[in-house]
Amino acid sequence: MFILKYIKEVFSGLKSLAVGLRRTLYYFSHHKEIITQQYPDNRDTLVFPDRFKGEVVMVHDDNNEHACTGCTACELACPNATIKIITKFDITPEGKKKKAIDKFVYHLELCTMCNLCVVACPTDAIKMAQTFEHSVFNRAELTKVLNKPDSKIREGVE
């Protein structure tokens, strides 16, 4: 009886191997089932979802105007001190002093893409961009100023 059981086990074992091997051979012969993408070669066809969190950018319109009032809500919401807002005082046509941003400094190397700053912004001045290749040779390049040169706040944004 022992030998019968032993032979039975050998054959059921061989069968289980054949079943697994059949699956492997199926994929070996069906090239259409392969879904691997060759990354650096497929850059042109890569599509990222709108919500993909790549880096924080400031939205500028055609007139080089943004919506950032310098309220520092994003700076307070950030867990890693990624954002530093340097403000200045503009003189309005009426001769009054008005607070505005001088530099919106963004440290990409500290950012964890948690999206808390974008949610905190009351004027939707910043958003997440879909870029993802952030490697640079010089670390200082990761510290960015998000407001473009000579840009100013859009009319009517308080």
Partner 1 sequence: MVEEIGSTAAGDIIINVGPQHPATHGVLHLVITINGETIQKVEPHLGYIHRSIEKMCESLTYRQFIYVTSRMDYLSSHINNHACALCVEKGLQIEVPSRAQVIRVLMDELTRIASHELWWGAMAMDLGAFTPFFHAFREREAINDIMEETCGARLTMNYMVPGGVMQDIHPNFQSRVKEFIALFKSKVSEYNELVTGNIIFQNRMKGVGNLSAADAISFGCTGPTARGSGVSCDIRKLYPYEIYDTLNFEEILETGGDSFARYMVRVREMSQSISIIEQLIDNIPEGDFQAKTKAVLKLPKGEFYQRVETARGEFGVYIVSEGGTTPYRIKYRSPGFSNLSALDHMARGSKLGDLVAMMGTLDLVIPDIDR
Which stretches of the chain bind partner 1, using CB under 8 A? Answer: 12-14, 16-17, 19-20, 22-24, 35, 48-49, 51-53, 77-79, 112-116, 119, 128
State in angstroms the smallest separation of the CB of 18 from partner 1.
Answer: 10
State in angstroms the smallest separation of the CB of 29 from partner 1.
Answer: 14
Q: Greatest CA span in the chain, whole angstroms? A: 106
Q: Strand runs (DSSP E) across 2-125, as ranges? A: 55-58, 65-66, 83-91, 97-107
- Report the relative pairing of strands 97-107 and 83-91 from DSSP bridges: antiparallel
State in angstroms the smallest separation of the CB of 47 from partner 1.
Answer: 11
Question: CB neighbours of 130 closer than 8 A, spacing ≥ 6?
Answer: 48, 49, 50, 52, 54
Question: CB neighbours of 16 closer than 8 A, spacing ≥ 6?
Answer: none
**5/96 with CB nearer partner 1:** 5
**92/112 with CB nearer partner 1:** 112
**31/51 with CB nearer partner 1:** 51
**58/117 with CB nearer partner 1:** 117
Structural tokens at position 136: 């640079």
State in angstroms the smallest separation of the CB of 96 from partner 1.
Answer: 28
**2/28 with CB nearer partner 1:** 28
Radius of gyration from C-alpha coordinates of the chain: 28
CA distance 91 to 71: 18
State in angstroms the smallest separation of the CB of 112 from partner 1.
Answer: 6
